[in-house]
Amino acid sequence: MPLDDSSLAPELFDLPAFSGDRKPGWCLAAPEGTLRVRPHIPTGPLQAGPDRLLAAMARCVRAQPRSRILAADTTLYRIDAIQRTRFCRFTDDISLWAMPVPMPDGRIAAAPVILSRSRIGRWDMGTNRRRVECWLATMLGFCGG
């Protein structure tokens, strides 16, 4: 199913400007040195380009239980989604970015960036890290990364 951003909310979380929260309920996967905060899980460029990785990210969100896409921008290769936790049904926010990475051979690869953060509470009992690890593995499977 293609990602159709025309029916989605236009406002995206400003992921490139994220500098960390004061509370510990978040986890970031990203290439080292690309954002204002150090990632918990370092990622790197994949063979897939940004369009292909973005499609895999959208497919990943749709495949997860209690998840939905809230906003997307196919020109920025970004998606904002939510997922409700299994037991208490707390809403967590997930921002995904298929970050374009110019390669030495001239092609444009993409590196996955995922930020999962709790809306409420001080501690997430590892939920955000497990989500990021699971979603990374799922999207890599979808895009053959």
Residue 3 belongs to some domain of the structure: no
Confidence of residue 142 (pLDDT cuts 50, 70, 90): confident
Domain ranges, residue 70: 22-143
Element (H or E) spanning 59, and its range?
Answer: helix 50-63
CB 53 within 8 A of CB 45: no
pLDDT one-digit tens code per residue, 89-104: 788 899 999 999 999 9
User: Phi and psi for 53 in degrees, rounded to 5?
Assistant: -65, -40
Measured CA to CA in angstroms, residue 18 lies from 3, 28, 35, 93 at distances of 24, 10, 7, 13
Residue 105 belongs to some domain of the structure: yes
Residue 89 sits in a domain whose CATH number is 3.30.310.80
Tokens read off for 105: 């051979």
Residue 130 belongs to some domain of the structure: yes
pLDDT one-digit tens code per residue, 106-123: 999 999 999 999 887 767
How confident is the model at residue 5, as a pLDDT? 43
pTM above 0.85, yes or no: yes
Number of domains present in the structure of the chain: 1
Tokens read off for 110: 């993409």
